[in-house]
Amino acid sequence: MRRRTLFAVPVLLAAPGLRAQPDRPVRIIVPFPPGQSTDIVARLVADALSARWPQRVVVENRAGGAGVPAMEAARAAPADGSVLVAGSIGPMAVNAAVMPRLPYDPERDFTPITNLSRVPLCIVAHPSFPASDPAGFLAAARAANPPLDVATAGPASGAHMAAELLAHRLGVRLNMVHYRGSGPAVTDLIAGTVRLMTDSLASALPHVRGGRLKLIGVSTAGRVPWAPEVPSFAETIAPGYEAVGWNGLAGPAGLAPALVERINADVTAVLRDRAVVARIEEAGMIADPMTPAQFQAFLRAEIARWREVARIANVTIEG
């Protein structure tokens, strides 16, 4: 029988320093289950890159543990571009702010490549809640004794921290009611068990448009293009306030600069493609391509911001 020899071929169109077997896919680790915003944008990017690169790009979901196991797996991967991680505000910024014994350093242990998307957050209410806009919400929060209950998807989630920052900016107290995920919290909100929740706008909009819930306001600096009817807290009662979720792309520490630039160029080109942008907006997000330097500065600022919020609100998670 004639023997065949399989030669290693360049990955990412001969990007410097990156080699892999022809049948070896590039993996993007996602610290969440399928269907979550990070997973959605990672799969859109992976599909588009698979059409550009010689290797197939696949998404590997490693949910649980506040994203820590997934981030550790990405940190331990070879620094050759064969493994990337699509982290989010939680694993890449909030964890560093609230976990004293976090086993990884988001800045030291990873190479920033680009942000992928921003995820507008909001406060949404049961129809029985008396207020329907930010000003009414503020009046109700000031008058409430005891403080208003606000459901969250879990302690130290991006939505929880955004609500803590809003309460601080407004000078009011809110009682955070933590659930194990957004789904159970939304179920109780629709049932009227709780009457307020901080959530992603993408998760809330279908229930709002179905008449089951009503939106109070969004956490972006201005109104969201695909939901212009919803006021922002910044334009009404909290000037300068902004707290959005986000999903970013990174690799293990030590990725070659030329390789980082090449991956960034291809990923940001995908994020500027009109069809991809439309798919991202349909999922309730905003495409947000950055240079590696911009993403590094953004990440550093986010970690500092949430450390300050964690200190003010006394939020600590043992992990």
Tell me: the pLDDT tens digits for 264-281? 999 999 999 999 999 999
Which letter does DSSP use for residue 147 in this model?
P
Distances (CA, A) of 27 to 61, 135, 194, 196, 251: 10, 46, 40, 38, 11
Percentage above 70 pLDDT, the chain: 92
Residue 262 has pLDDT above 50, yes or no: yes
pLDDT at res. 35: 84
Mean pLDDT over residues 82-111, rounded?
Answer: 95
pLDDT in tens, 179-214: 988 889 999 999 999 999 999 888 888 899 899 999
Mean pLDDT over residues 148-157, rounded?
Answer: 93
Residue 105 has pLDDT above 50, yes or no: yes
What is the value of pTM for the model shown?
0.86
Distance CA 285, CA 117 (A): 6
Residue 1 has pLDDT above 70, yes or no: no
Residue 24 has pLDDT above 70, yes or no: yes
For the chain, the 3-state helix, strand and coil shares in percent, each to the nearest 5, are 40, 20, 40
pLDDT at res. 3: 38
pLDDT at res. 7: 30
Picking from 214, 308, 282, 259, the residue whose alpha carbon sits closest to that of residue 81 is 259
* Summary mean pLDDT of the chain: 90
Amino acid letter, 102:
L
pLDDT at res. 23: 54
Asked if 68 and 95 touch (Cβ cutoff 8 Å), the reply is yes
Mean pLDDT over residues 144-163, rounded?
Answer: 93
Residue 118 has pLDDT above 80, yes or no: yes
Of 24-28, 83-87, 166-170, 215-219, where does mean pLDDT reach its minimum? 24-28
Residue 21 has pLDDT above 90, yes or no: no
Report cis status (omega within 30 of 0) of the bond before 146: yes
The total of other beta-carbon atoms located within 10 Å of residue 298's CB is 18
Of 122-126, 154-158, 240-244, where does mean pLDDT reach its minimum? 154-158
Picking from 151, 156, 249, the residue whose alpha carbon sits closest to that of residue 204 is 151
pLDDT at res. 181: 83
Percentage above 90 pLDDT, the chain: 78
pLDDT at res. 319: 57
Distance CA 142, CA 319 (A): 34
Residue 20 has pLDDT above 60, yes or no: no
Mean pLDDT over residues 124-128, rounded?
Answer: 97
Using pLDDT thresholds of 50, 70 and 90, give the confidence band for residue 5.
Answer: very low
Q: Name all domains of the chain by residue range, CATH numbers in brackets.
A: 15-119+244-313 (3.40.190.150), 121-236 (3.40.190.10)
Helix (H, G, I), strand (E, B) or coil at 87: strand
Edge-to-edge strand ranges of the sheet holding 174-178: 174-178, 148-152, 196-200, 121-125, 214-218
Q: Residue 161 phi/psi, 5° resolution?
A: -65, -35
Residue 6 has pLDDT above 50, yes or no: no
Amino acid letter, 272:
R
Mean pLDDT over residues 42-50, rounded?
Answer: 97
Please classify residue 73 by burial: count the beta carbons closer than 10 Å to its beta carbon, then call 0-12 exposed, 13-18 middle and 19+ buried. middle
Using pLDDT thresholds of 50, 70 and 90, give the confidence band for residue 284.
Answer: confident
Distances (CA, A) of 231 to 138, 178, 221, 223, 235: 14, 25, 10, 6, 7
